[in-house]
Structure formats: C-alpha cells, structure tokens
Amino acid sequence: EVQLVESGGGLVQPGGSLRLSCAASGFTFSSYSMNWVRQAPGKGLEWVSYISSSSGIIHYADSVKGRFTISRDNAKNSLYLQMNSLRDEDTAVYYCARVIVGATTYGYFDYWGQGTLVTVSS
C-alpha cells in the first residue's frame, strides 16, 4: 500500500525557517517524481514545487522561488521542503504528492499524504 506521511509542520514567526519531511513507503520511491502542494485554511490547492526521481529536474511556483528548496534522499525514501523567509501567506497545510509523469507531460498526482500544517504568525 502506498503511504506518504508528512511531518515537520508547526508555528513559526515571519522570517523564520522550517523543514518539512515526507516519508514514503509501499512503492519504489526512487522511480517517481514528487511534488509539494499546499492549501491555505479554507482555500483551494496551490502547487509549490516539483522534483524528478533523480533530483535532476526541479521547479518552483513563483510564489516560493528563492525561498523554498525541495530535495529528496532516495536511500531514505524521503522528500523534503526547506522553507526560509516565511511569510504570513505561507500559512497552509502542506501535502506531498506522487506524480505520474506522462510521455509528453509532467503528469498528475495519484497519491497524497495527509498533510502537515504550517502556521506563520507572530
């Protein structure tokens, strides 16, 4: 059974940093691209960042570019999101999601973790 379990969320002051983790199990993690997606309280879904299976291709949403860094450790079956210079508007539940990459597209998200809440507030 595919499982994705996020951790590392919490309360942080504006300008602070936080590192999220996503532990994967039930599939060959090193064969899949992964994403982070967030959802502000009561709002819709917003894609945050993408990393390919070998970490060779990385993309960020404009809203987090230069502040967030995605990485992965295939030996540990883990995905990470280092978040720096946090702002109030980064407050959200952060989900990791597995990507099914297509022949000509970056693909859709077939499995999601349960999410971890990040609250940025003074």
Residues that bind another protein (CB under 8 A): 35, 37, 44-47, 50, 59, 61, 95, 100, 102, 105-115
Residue 15 Cβ vs another protein, minimum distance, rounded to whole Å? 26
DSSP per-residue letters across 53-96? TTS--EEE-TTTTTTEEEEEEGGGTEEEEEE-S--GGG-EEEEE
Q: Which residue has the tokens 């998200």?
A: 109
> Are 82 and 68 spatial neighbours (Cβ–Cβ below 8 Å)?
yes
**Lookup result for tokens 């999220």:** 20
Closer of 82 and 117 to another protein (Cβ) = 117
CB of 73 to another protein, least distance (A): 22
Write down the least CB distance from residue 16 to another protein, Å. 26
- Name the nearest CA neighbour of 36 among 11, 15, 9: 9
> Closer CB to another protein, residue 41 or residue 75?
41
Length of the chain: 122
Which C-beta is closer to another protein: that of 63 or that of 69?
63
Cβ closest to another protein, residue 80 vs residue 98:
98
Minimal distance, residue 113 CB to another protein, in Å:
6
